[in-house]
Amino acid sequence: MRHIMDLMNRTILHLDLDAFFCSVEETRNNDLRGKPFAVGGKPDERGVVASCSYAARKFGVRSAMPMSRALRLVPNLLIVPGRHKLYSEVSKQVMARLHNLTDLVEQISIDEAFLDISDLRDKNPERIARELQADIRDELHLPSSIGIASNKLVAKIATEVGKKAAKGNGPPFGLTIVPAGEEAAFLVPLPADMLWGVGPKTFARLTELGIHTIGDIARWPENEMTRLFGENGRDLWRHAQGIDNRPIVTESETKSVSQETTFNVDIRDDKTLEKTLREQSKEVGRQLRKNDLAGKTVKLKIRWPDFTTLSRQTTLPTSTDNDDEIYRTAIKLMKTVRKPNQAVRLIGVGVSRIGTPVRQLSLWDAGSEKSRKLQEVVDQLQEKYGRDVIHKGDSN
């Protein structure tokens, strides 16, 4: 009973940075303000919209849309190349402000996070939210929207409701608070596809059954939803009642590290593919070493021009964080699926089954340990002075 009461007494704040990439670009270039523009790739290189300004959204431009289609909707659309290192730096500045409020922060993407503010008894939730929004706006010149509820599910939906309810052409600066005990009533009129777990296929099936709103889901018997949709149906029914007991997760366990590249034009050249895999393997190895991790399974992902996507993997005898070993394994995997001169649209390499490296140095390991020490020095120099400062010699 105490656990149930604790869950009911929680106060969860969900923060979403509005049109984040575009908002950051506007802080660096005032000429972009008020204009239809999108951050993303070039239309003639299969680019997609990563983020679009509110002026562009008025014309139907949306994230993940092909840039070529966005240009058909808005011929004078300005295209800004993404600067992901910059966005990451700004995101860290925002997250630092969240951590100044509480240690119970769960970052779920570069521009989105949950906070458990239950223990901040000296301030009411609305005041906390407005002060946080003002701080991010005044100090970092970024807009944000916030939802507050007794759980993560309802808080996130509250944020979306606030954004959609806002009027005007600029960022919404939404703030929606759902009082404890009113979760189910708040969800009743909302479209069913606003609920977590309702993707396009599930939404289509719900529509066939005459279910259009979250309230419609809540009115169906739980056992009937479970019969129709399996375990997912049980979750849908519980979520439609506004029930979500998941805690704030402050640290995410790394399950895999990967890199992939989509080529501007299809690639047939072996050397280009091998060079790409080598660079990806270096980056995967660097990330593993930086986090003091190693993995046993190396995975190759490859996509042909017709969008057929294959993956192959192999498990090594021992865990590795070594660039060369990852690269050699990836090359072997590629040769098992790719025919000579076969065109490639996308290629990627990853490492999973990750854990702490096991290093048992013996007389026979001295050479590899020396190589490891050298690699650690290279990593440190590249981290401090940039990736181009020094390279290990490549041997094929």
Active-site residue list: 112
CB-based burial of residue 106 (10 Å sphere; 0-12 exposed, 13-18 middle, 19+ buried)? buried
Distance CA 313, CA 333 (A): 7
Question: How many residues make up the chain in this entry?
Answer: 396
Q: Answer for the pair 147, 128: CB distance below 8 angstroms, yes or no.
A: no
Distance CA 378, CA 73 (A): 48
The secondary structure of 157-220 as a DSSP string is HHHHHHHHH--SSS----EEE--TT-HHHHHTTSBGGGSTT--HHHHHHHHHTT--BHHHHHHS
Instruction: Give me Rg for the CA atoms of the chain.
Output: 24
Nearest to 115 by CA among 88, 148, 85: 148
Beta bridge partners of 12: 116, 149
Distance CA 14, CA 6 (A): 19
Backbone torsions φ then ψ of 66, nearest 5 degrees: -55, 135
Q: Residues near 198 by Cβ (< 8 Å), separated by ≥ 6?
A: 192, 206, 236
Beta bridge partners of 259: 349
Alpha helices (H) in 212-365, listed in sequence order: 214-219, 222-229, 231-240, 270-290, 323-337
Any idea which residue has 């010699």 for tokens?
393
